[in-house]
Amino acid sequence: MAVRKWLATGAFAWFSTLPLAAGAADFPNAPVKFVVGFSPGSTIDTVARIIGDALSTRMGQSFVVENKTGANGMIAARMVAQAKPDGYTILVSNSSSITVNPLLYKDLQYDPLKDFAPVTTVVSVPFILTINAENPRVAGVSDVKSLVELARRNPNTVSYGSAGNGNLMHLAGAQLATMSNVQMLHVPYRGAAPMEAGLMSKEVDFGFDTLSGVPLIKAGKLKALAVSTAQRWHDLPDVPAVAELGYPDFDISFWVGVFAPAGTPPAVVERLNREIAEAAKDPAVRARLAMQGNPSTQTPQAFRQKIADELKQNETLIKRANIKID
């Protein structure tokens, strides 16, 4: 009797894996949804569309971007964390949603290491400290030093925009204020593109913009004062790094990465990883990605370790800058 029960249980367990295994073997056999927590036109959205187009060609199924904006990417992350783990609902997110939000928000409703299966990073991106030179409030600002001096003379008046509370744009602005020992006013937006629009319309005085602002900088509509990484950005060789300007420890960038819900079959995660890595090697795809940042892919295991390491690093930064979310 016990033997029959064991056989029945074992047979059930074996048969129960068949649909999952078959689903992994022929993945994808239906359209795949890329959920993006930021606005159309943002770096995250653009990278998702570049990779989605490439995967559609490579894998023979549509990869459709769905924007679920708000709460610094948390709405999108929650949606994917709770999705069926079959590989057909995928999160394309930035590092803020994964390695900053968990340190600031109490009601997060997802754990970055437990609720997701990391697939790969796609690009690594610097920020550009940018002003609108036609904004009368920053008249006379020509570099980071004069911007800081303006803030010193006008505490809590000089404003900087970000893509949301707790976003790495927010952390970059707070870090500059903390290291300069000045008080600045943070203005959160619902994404990088709305923040950039706020700069253009003179709602805010400066912001750590993404590379989507480069065309506006080259057209003379925005002025770049510095880049946030330790080295200069190759497309703006005359713009210094903040680290060159008396802030040697200033080095902030973000990545765009791809995540499946936890429990997604490893074969599906590995397939997505492999296809994205191969797509990123294609010269045409790589050229498009290079306009958004430095193309950079890695194994799911390396990506998971990167997340764990950055959680520790960002915790230190947040405590030093005394950033809190009410």
Task: Please tell me the pTM assigned to this model.
Answer: 0.77
Band the pLDDT of 70: cuts 50, 70, 90. Answer: confident
Q: Taking residues 142-150, what's their average pLDDT?
A: 98
> What Å distances lie between residue 179 and 47, 77, 127, 138, 207, CA to CA?
32, 32, 17, 20, 16
Distance CA 224, CA 293 (A): 17
**284 or 21: which leads in pLDDT:** 284
Helix, strand and coil percent figures for the chain, each rounded to 5: 45, 20, 35
Sheet containing 223-227: give its strands across: 185-188, 159-162, 206-209, 128-131, 223-227
Return the percentage of the chain with pLDDT > 90, whole number.
75
Please state, for a pLDDT cut of 70, what percent of the chain lies above it.
92
Instruction: Express each pLDDT in 223-271 by its tens digit.
Output: 999 999 988 998 899 999 999 999 998 989 889 999 999 999 999 999 9
Tokens of 70: 């708000």
**Which residues, 6 or more positions from 3, have their beta carbon under 8 angstroms from its beta carbon?**
none
| For residues 97-123, average pLDDT | 94
d(C-alpha 28, C-alpha 32), whole Å: 7
Residue 256 corresponds to which amino acid? Answer: V
Specify the higher pLDDT residue, 167 or 271: 271
- Per the CB < 8 A criterion, the answer to whether 51 and 63 are in contact is yes
Q: What is the pLDDT of residue 17?
A: 40
Which tens digits make up the pLDDT trace of 114-131?
999 999 999 998 999 999
More confident site: 24 or 172:
172
Q: What is the pLDDT of residues 3-52, one digit of tens each?
A: 344 344 444 343 334 344 445 778 999 999 999 998 898 889 999 999 99
